[in-house]
Structure 1
């Protein structure tokens, strides 16, 4: 008998008097102790399907079909019956723990809440259970962490806390919705290893939702491939990967950033350099705010990037990658030498810097967060033209249309707003905003990590093409080493503010010298070895 059985599930959403069908007749089952993966691109219906199992969708959702948990019908069940199952028999782990954890409550309060509700434990007994759970998921010195708030933990630690909350009441079925997408490769491997261990020890079943097929191949028993709200192919993991039948599945499996960038011309000029760049943030205490120490974000970082060259910067969260990039843009204070186009900018005043800002642009990880929802696409892309006075008598809409076409967007959509575009399209808008100024240096801060695999490939190809056409210098920050390998000429590896290794791409990837770099490579290219036994 299946732990979870879904038959002919249909989910529609009512908005502005219209009905939009998000899930179209989906059927699958999860057996006892089995891991079933739902894969597909954003918008395919994966998360909606998972949330509908215990009706965690909004009031505007209409669910039809059958969802049974151990024979108990969930569709149409009353709220009392659903509450008994939610968080007790069926638990969820979500992609971004900061949106799931309450920033105003301590870890102890948040973990105790579920234990008190479902197990009736109070006081010392509840506290002991919380400590046990945190230790079980690998939070070191768990008791001292009880009074911590979510923002005081790293991304990997927050995800472990989410797993502890999901396991608090010994669920039979764990639904993990993109639980590792936002994590660095080494942390990702640790979380997957933890889930594998917990699943074996507790005999849980798992519904694993992801767009990362490298994870699926190692950790799922069966796979369901979703597209446009339907399951287009399903079967044993080995069968799906070895002999995919549906064209969409074949496209997903072939979507990987491969190849190498064009070689850098021997006479390419240096665009940007740093020399012994140091960024330390003071720790201030007491009424007089005396400095009692420093957070050493970056220590003596030296790099150089030429026209047409990409320097990839890799390392775990908190290693100093983004801090280094922001210092190069003079967006945060630093010590040491920074030169852009041969000009020392470390001590320039804001007014003096403005003339150089046109030549230095940045593209961020989350395009939705960096695009104003109140501005049209035309206004967003053209904003820099007015700031830097580079319209040169040309029609602004014509300039926006030209760059939109160049990055693969339809100029007819320039009067729309960011929410009307997909994630990949929003990232193209962010790239267009940077490129319309024809910069010499572009800093790309995790520009592909929030995107599906097929969209990642498209963005990498777009960046390659723009670099080849305009001789752009890129600083490319990412924890996805496969993308770094496909796009970079030089690679810098950072750990806790230090540059532990740097050199040509092939040297770093094929013959890493430091133990940390070796661990990163193992986690990125051999998850099975890095994360232990499969889920």
Structure 2
């Protein structure tokens, strides 16, 4: 029996007095105990279609067509009816739990709110149900976590809490919007297994929105492929993967970073070298802020990176990957030896460090969060020139236009603002901002994790080309081991602050020595199989 039926759904947004159509006549259904995946690139209409199901779109949206839950029409339904369906019969799991959870409320209060609103549970009965939910989704020692705040949990734990909240009122339908995008491969695998178990045991209908086809193949019964607001192909998952008919589906299935980077020349100089680098953050308590212990982010890390070489850094969240990179960039304090371009960094004065910043640049995971919304593309890219100087002496706009062409952006768009670009274009702006200073070392912190598969391939190819042209050294941090393999010459595997494996990419991927590395690789293979 179909729990959710979407028929000829059309969604338009009114902007500047004009209607812009985002969804164009979409139809699909979700049955009891079935997983239906909506796949496609950013802007294809996946999330808009899902949010339309319970009228969660902003007031600028105009919705036509039909959405029924158990034969009851939801389009144009009374607010009271919709409030009863939302979170009760149809629940959502969103992509980024940190923005969905209230940072000022404990886990108990946030889950209790839904139980009180929909079921009237209070006191001991509500607490018992909350503990049951947290244990059901795999939160260990659940009772001690009730008073925790979202920032005190890992990414995987926060996502489990979101799932617990979604399940609180025993819904019939669960809509999961990119629920594993920002998670490590091992945590992704755990979350997918959890969703599969819940679907089987609770008889849920699951609408799964993603751009990752590896996940789709693992979890979905049926697939709807969306492009430009339309479903261009639909059918059983295995049939779609074995014999895709539409060119766009074929393009998505073939979009995967592949190959290996160009070899490093024999005479390449070592640009970055650390010797037993240690990063410990003090735990201070009491009125006098006495140090009572340390958070040991990184222990005795010794690595080296040559010009034209990429060092991939992998490991689960909290393993110390980003802390190691930030310490190499001298953005956080560390102990131990470090040399940059043949010089002892620990001997640098603040003035010398500031002068050398142009040689060390960073590209962050979320380009939208790292680009100022009040600055134009040209201002963002040229900002480094105003800080470090313009050695060429040419007009800034000329240099901006040149680097924009280098990263495959149209210079005619330099006066636009970040919100006027796609995710892939924003990441290119972030790369251009780093590259305009002609650095020697670039830290790439999860630069492709928030991007569609086809855009990931484009960014990987762009980074390879820039590295080959300018002899750049990359520190490449990622949980996507497929991208790491395509980018890296050497790989570091980190676990709880320790480097447990360090070798060539071929050695790590083909002959891992530790159980932890084998687990990481096995999880990645499961997600891409």
TM (norm. structure 1) is 0.98
Q: Distance in 1 between matches of 2:524 and 2:393?
A: 49
Q: Who is 1:51 aligned against?
A: 51
Q: Secondary structure at the match of 2:346?
A: coil
* Distance of aligned partners of 1:44 and 1:518 in 2 relative to their CA distance in 1, 3 Å threshold: same
Q: Look up the match of 2:350.
A: 350
What's the offset of the Cα at 1:13? Answer: 1.1
Superposition deviation, residue 382 in structure 1? 1.0
What residue number does 2:5 align with? 5
Match of 1:187 in 2: 187
Indicate if the aligned counterparts of 1:442 and 1:473 stay in contact, CA closer than 8 A. Answer: yes
How many angstroms apart in 1 are the aligned matches of 2:350 and 2:105? 40
Deviation at 1:448, TM superposition (A): 0.4
Bigger shift: 475-484 or 10-19?
10-19
CA distance in 2, matches of 1:46, 1:389: 44
Aligned counterpart, 2:327? 327
The residue number in structure 2 matching 1:132 is 132
Which ranges of structure 2 fall in alignment gaps of 5 or more residues?
none
1:491, CA displacement in angstroms?
Answer: 0.1
Q: Which residue of 1 aligns with 2:210?
A: 210
Spell out, residue by residue over 1:81-135, the C-alpha distance to the aligned partner (whole angstroms, 9 max, x if none). Answer: 1111111111110010011111111111110111111111110000000000000
How do 1:81-480 residues align onto structure 2 when only pairs under 5 Å count? 81-480=81-480
Mapped contact 2:225–2:232 kept (Cα < 8 A): yes
For the residues of structure 2 that align with 1:253 and 1:55, how far apart are their CA atoms? 32
CA–CA separation in structure 2 for the residues paired with 1:528 and 1:120: 43
How far, CA to CA, are the matches of 2:413 and 2:86 in structure 1? 42
C-alpha deviations, 1:314-364, integer Å up to 9, x for none?
001111111111100111100011111001112422201122111111111
SS in structure 1 of the partner of residue 42 of structure 2: coil
Q: Is the Cα–Cα contact under 8 Å of residues 330 and 346 in structure 1 kept in the other structure? A: no
1:186-244, Cα deviation, whole Å (9 max, x unpaired): 00000111111111110111000000000101110000000111101100101111111
Matched, 1:492 2:492: yes
* Corresponding position of 2:515: 515
Query: In 2, distance between residues paired with 1:361 and 1:29?
Result: 48
Aligned equivalents of 1:306, 1:391: Cα separation in 2: 25
1:440 shift after superposition: 0.8
Alignment of 1:59-78 (within 5 A): 59-78=59-78
Offset of 1:18 from its aligned partner?
A: 1.7
**1:473, 1:145 → 2: CA distance?**
42
- C-alpha contact 2:214 2:528 (8 A) present in aligned 1: no
1:35-66 superposed Cα distances (whole Å, 9 cap, x missing partner): 00000001110000000001011111111100
Does the 8 Å contact 1:358/1:388 carry over to 2?
A: yes
Question: CA deviation digits over 1:431-483, x for unaligned, max 9?
Answer: 01111111111110100001000000000000000011111111000000000
How many residues are treated as equivalent by the alignment? 529
State the distance in 1 between where 2:26 and 2:105 align.
Answer: 38
Cα displacement string for residues 366-424 of structure 1 (whole angstroms, at most 9, x for unaligned residues): 11111111111111111111211134321211111111001000011111111110000
In structure 1, what is the Cα distance between the partners aligned to 2:391 and 2:380? Answer: 15
SS at match of 1:319: coil
What is the match of residue 532 of structure 1? none
Distance 1:409 1:102 in 2: 37
Separation of aligned partners in 1, 2:406 and 2:174:
44
- The secondary structure found in structure 1 opposite 2:304 is strand
> CA offset at residue 528 of structure 1?
9.0
| Counterpart Cα distance in 1 of 2:473 and 2:70 | 57
Residues in 2 aligned to 1:321 and 1:144: alpha-carbon distance in whole angstroms:
28
**Any conservation in 1 of the 2:367–2:426 contact (CA below 8 Å)?**
yes
Q: Which TM-score applies when normalising by structure 2?
A: 0.99
